Amino acid sequence: MGQIMTPVARNLLIACVAVYLLQLVMGPRLELHFALWPPNSFTPHFEPWQLVSYAFLHDPRSFTHILFNMFALYMFGPEIERLLGPRRFFTYYIVCVIGAALTQLLALRMEGNPPVPTVGASGGIFGLLLAFGLAFPRRRLMLLFPPIPMPAWLFVTLYGLLELFLGVSGRASGVAHFAHLGGMAGGFVLILYWRSRARTR
């Protein structure tokens, strides 16, 4: 799984790594314009393109942030791209990214905390996890900690429930748990739309 990279997944990975290296050189200037900022009167930094651009930035203070996201993109992206085709795969990924962004903005607005920027490809990655679980429900996946094998459908379900619990409880702060769920939700809605169109043909 994921050994042979497909074109769109490879280009997304390269773009994220290139932007991360650019962040290391330029400092916080990129985040000011391309991270996802909540639109309110106190932060005039929000622009519409941030609904997508934030997913190509990562926390430059944490190498594991981009490492785990790109590892997941490498493992699951090619499988889903071969299943959907390059054009639909790119559309699916971007819809997941936007769904994650909108969910995160809504969560920040409801929390009422001081506005902070959001960065990371996790929304798109969680959308890929959902697609993988739906397409290959019986495929065995191995957890890293602890190393327990389980079918993909169970892995994705437990991961989603964990993100919901962490988001609602406020534990593991500093992580956009609701954005992860929004990426899954955006992907699920698009899959339902594609399936409904296929049935009407």
Per-residue model confidence as pLDDT tens digits over 53-82: 999 999 988 888 899 999 999 999 999 999
Q: Is 158 among the domain residues? A: yes
Q: Is 74 among the domain residues? A: yes
What total number of domains does the chain contain? 1
What is the percent of the chain with per-residue pLDDT over 90, rounded to a whole number? 54
* Confidence tier at 91 by pLDDT (50, 70, 90): very high
How many angstroms separate the first and last alpha carbons of the chain? 32
DSSP 96-146: HHHHHHHHHHHHHHHHTPPP--B--SHHHHHHHHHHHHHHSTT-EEE-SSS
Q: What is the CATH number of the domain that holds 136?
A: 1.20.1540.10
Tell me the average pLDDT of the chain.
87
Q: Is 133 among the domain residues? A: yes
* Confidence tier at 45 by pLDDT (50, 70, 90): confident
> Domain limits at 191?
7-200
Q: Is 119 among the domain residues? A: yes
Q: Is 1 among the domain residues? A: no
Contact call for residues 20 and 121 (beta carbons, < 8 A): no
Q: Is 54 among the domain residues? A: yes
Q: What mean pLDDT is predicted for residues 126-131? A: 95
* Confidence tier at 2 by pLDDT (50, 70, 90): very low
* pTM as predicted: 0.90
* Pick from 45, 23, 61: nearest CA to 117: 45
Q: Is 126 among the domain residues? A: yes
* Confidence tier at 4 by pLDDT (50, 70, 90): confident
